[in-house]
Amino acid sequence: MNYTASGDRVARNRFKTAEGRFHLHTERTSGLQPFNYQRSTRLTCASLQGGPEDGLWIIFNVGDCINICRYDSTHKEPYRALLFNNSPVRGGYPICHAFMPAKDNVDLLVGLGDGQVMLMSLRAQLQATGYPSKPVVVSTLQPEGVSETNRCTAVAWIPRSESGHFVAAYSSGNIYVYKKTHVTGEGSGKFLSLGSSSKSQSPSSTIAISGGGINDVALSPDGRQLAAACRDGALRVVDVGTGTVVCGFCSYYGALLCCAFSPDGKYVATGGEDDMVAVYGIQERYPVVHGEGHRSWVSRVAWDPWAGSEPGTGSRTGLSEQLAPSTRIYRLGSAGQDCQLCLWDVQAPGEGDINSSAAMLAQMSMLGGMKRNGSLANLVSGRGDGQPNASLHDRKASLGKSSGICPSLPRMDMYIIQPIMEHKLHLDPMSDLLFTEDAIFTVDHTGNIRTWLRPQPDGAGE
């Protein structure tokens, strides 16, 4: 049986890509909450080393709780449930969370609907008693000027920051950058007591975004740039050191809801209210690819580092094996409020290839030409008929370089691709997805988590 059904609603329990078949392995069906758009369930994967807590953990929020499960036990009762707000009239429920390993074990961030940000230790939560238990908090932050009406929409650790810097983004349009040692008091001989709160703990810097509010942020792998998906429909890429907006683009229509940097930091994927996925090139300074496949808002985008192929590896079956060694394939995933998961293959020219654009177009021509709505897209400017268009490329590039924010592109100027896989995998609007080495985790707004095992090499031909 390939489907699960409830009345006239149907969702798949398997799907196929070039790598083989993905099978539904586990499904969380207990502890679900009614659909509430403002309480989207998010997923975070965390790793601890040593002690009884050693191993991988999945962190996810449902309703007023943060739940923590073993990596392979998301379908079971959570190992730990943290209750943040037991009052129906307050907005202190968890919205977002982020994890980064730390020597001092202060590694978990949680952003709340009333604007607070809590700095915590994952290990301490796992060692606590009671079910559900009260969160063990190292410090609670609420920047000056942030009221209970300002939601904390995203939190993130800054990669490669020696002092453990992190950011908190708000619906007001501000992004606050904090240094962990300033917040915890380490280095000054002081350590705040558990559960302490101090508004005097000022952020290291404040980045003000004039975009009507921020829905999501993502950090580049080197920690130098921050991408902000804004309510006014613009993606803004910010230099973290100076707080300056250096580039970005405007969506075709409506707000941008999510963003994610590619593993190499060269591209930023976005999704939003125009039902499209866009891939913005940091070097190109304009959206190089638009993907059409969703039938409603795109809630989440994520890159899959374990799929795709590096130049010259020949690690993929199908079309990518026919491409030149200079070609790299990126795998991108998107989760939508249409209950669908879409997977996309986007194609980039090889590094160091002097004439990569012409070479790529020639390769696609040899393969029968690249249609405007092909399943693969080369991340270079070109016309839909597979021929280069120098004037179009120059016009887009100049737009990005002159104003910093590339204006919304007309549809005729978009390089549009179709997903390599699009299937309805949930019965309710999807809110997040998480790629790991051996599985894909998907979740909807009710908290229903489904785990999809990647195909085994010997089962690729099933």
Question: pLDDT tens digits, residue range 110-153?
Answer: 999 999 999 999 999 999 887 788 999 999 998 887 776 789 99
For the chain, the maximum distance between any two Cα atoms, rounded to a whole number of angstroms, is 68
pLDDT for the residue numbered 79: 95
pLDDT for the residue numbered 89: 56
Residue 387 domain flag: no
- Comparing 235-249, 251-265, 339-353, the range with the smallest average pLDDT is 339-353
Q: Could you count the other beta carbons within 10 Å of the beta carbon of residue 144?
A: 9
3-class SS of residue 392: helix
When divided into structural domains, the chain yields a total of 1
Residue 462 banded pLDDT, cuts 50, 70, 90: very low
Residue 415 domain flag: no
Domain that holds residue 71: 37-208
Token duo for residue 397: 């590039």
Residue 420 domain flag: no
Residue 137 domain flag: yes
Q: Could you count the other beta carbons within 10 Å of the beta carbon of residue 179?
A: 18
Residue 457 banded pLDDT, cuts 50, 70, 90: confident
3-class SS of residue 202: coil
The pTM score is 0.84
HSE-up of residue 235 (Cα within 13 Å, Cβ side): 37
Token duo for residue 357: 């654009």
Find the Cα–Cα–Cα–Cα dihedral 345, 351, 356, 362, rounded to 10°. Answer: -50
List C-alpha distances in Å: 328 to 91, 280, 369, 377, 457. Answer: 45, 16, 18, 11, 21
Residue 296 domain flag: no
What is the length of the chain? 462
What proportion of the chain, given as a percentage, has pLDDT over 90? 61
Q: Helix, strand, coil % (nearest 5) of the chain? A: 10, 40, 50
pLDDT for the residue numbered 314: 52
Residue 121 belongs to domain with CATH number: 2.130.10.10
- Comparing 195-199, 227-231, 269-273, 285-289, the range with the smallest average pLDDT is 195-199
Partners of 22 in the β-ladder? 15
Token duo for residue 450: 């489904």
3-class SS of residue 256: strand
pLDDT, tens only, 271-299: 999 999 999 999 988 899 999 999 999 99
pLDDT for the residue numbered 39: 87
**Is 80 exceeded by the pLDDT of residue 310?**
no
Calculate mean pLDDT across residues 368-383.
43
Strand positions, DSSP E, 136-255:
137-141, 152-157, 165-170, 174-179, 196-197, 205-208, 214-219, 225-230, 234-239, 244-250
**Is 70 exceeded by the pLDDT of residue 104?**
yes
pLDDT for the residue numbered 350: 47
Residue 333 domain flag: no
Token duo for residue 119: 């700095």
Residue 55 domain flag: yes
Residue 75 domain flag: yes
HSE-up of residue 264 (Cα within 13 Å, Cβ side): 12
Peptide bond into 132 cis (omega under 30): yes
